Amino acid sequence: MATFLDELVAGDFEQVNIVRDAMSDIGSIVAIHDTTMGPSLGGVRMRPYPTHEDAARDAMALARAMTYKSALAGLNLGGGKSVINAEPTAENKARFLPVLAKHIASMGGRYIPGADMGTDAADMDVLAKHVPVVSCRRDPSPSTARGVFRAVVETLRWTGAGDLAGRRIAVQGLGKVGRALVMFLREAGAEVLVADIDDRRTTEARDVAGAVPVAIQDILTADVDVLCPCAAGGVLTPDVIDHLRTGVIVPGANNPLEHDAQAAVLQERGVVYVPDFVANAGGVIVAEAEVRGSDDTIEDRIETIAATTVEILDTAQRSGTDTVSVAYRVARDRLASHATARPTFPAVP
């Protein structure tokens, strides 16, 4: 049976770094998937994992998704990610972030960190004391949510369901992206069902936006027109898919499928699935503009998420292939077309 090290050697990653430091006792992974298009960009995720191997697998899956997300969004960036295997407390951040920052600085511009689950703009300011280029020093979540919203709108139109007015949408997870998405959906006239592990968030969504709270164990299988997972990855398990009561899934979360092969199962069952790395690219679009020092094209690029969504859906329908396979193929074609012009490092924004 193949070991995790065997998988690493056989995989398509350029670099996977284990960050250790005896003084702080940090447990961190930095994964660089591909730098064909430019320096790898991806957030610093801070959360506890059952094992360090689980942390490494998450970093790698997220880094790979960032490669394809950037390629499909037309950005000159590669895919990377880092995780810190710890609760995101103030004490842990004070111990671990400077250590991680110094390690990232030693990578010669190959990886640009940003905010992610468990970290924020203030944490990026800490990293910036050691790392020359840092993204997400402003919150990218509204732009991520805007891209997901545009993907929802275009997918409903593509299915013939029309606009959002009166449609039932389930949003699982009310972090920054989920909360912003709820507001966009409600403003467009949708009925929105919400759930989060923190009851205070669902109460806020009810009181502020008029959303309908449901039990966390019921949200993924609610009877809705569109399901938007916006929390941690891997929530669309075989059991959940067996009990789905929606015809459309548009994720705000990264890697919501437990395995990519489940996209084919969804296709066979007539569920329209927009790949997460298509729908939630608004955040990386903002991050790219930030590191390049230009905001001029942000809105136009976020609007292209809608066009890319339709392109993927049309191609999948014509070819009889699931949408994830189609999106990977389009992204890999773009990477292949740029392979001979691979940048050198250190990269200059």
As annotated, the active-site residues are 81
Q: Do strands 78-85 and 26-34 pair parallel, antiparallel, or not at all (unpaired)?
A: antiparallel
Give the Cα-Cα-Cα angle 41, 255, 212 (nearest 5 degrees): 115
Number of C-beta neighbours around residue 319 at 10 A: 11
Adjacent-strand bridge partners of 114: 43
Angstrom distances, CA of residue 229 to CA of 22, 172, 205:
38, 5, 16
Residues 54 and 15: beta-carbon distance below 8 Å: no
Buried b (16+ CB within 10 A) or exposed e, 103-115: bbeebebbbbbbb
Q: Tell me which residue of 78, 37, 73, 32 sits closest to 56, measured CA to CA.
A: 32
Which helix H or strand E contains 327, and what residues bound it?
Answer: helix 323-337
Q: What are phi and psi of 249, to 5 degrees?
A: -125, 125
Angstrom distances, CA of residue 221 to CA of 186, 269, 311:
21, 15, 27
What lies within 8 Å, CB to CB, of 175 at 6+ separation is 117, 141, 196, 230, 231
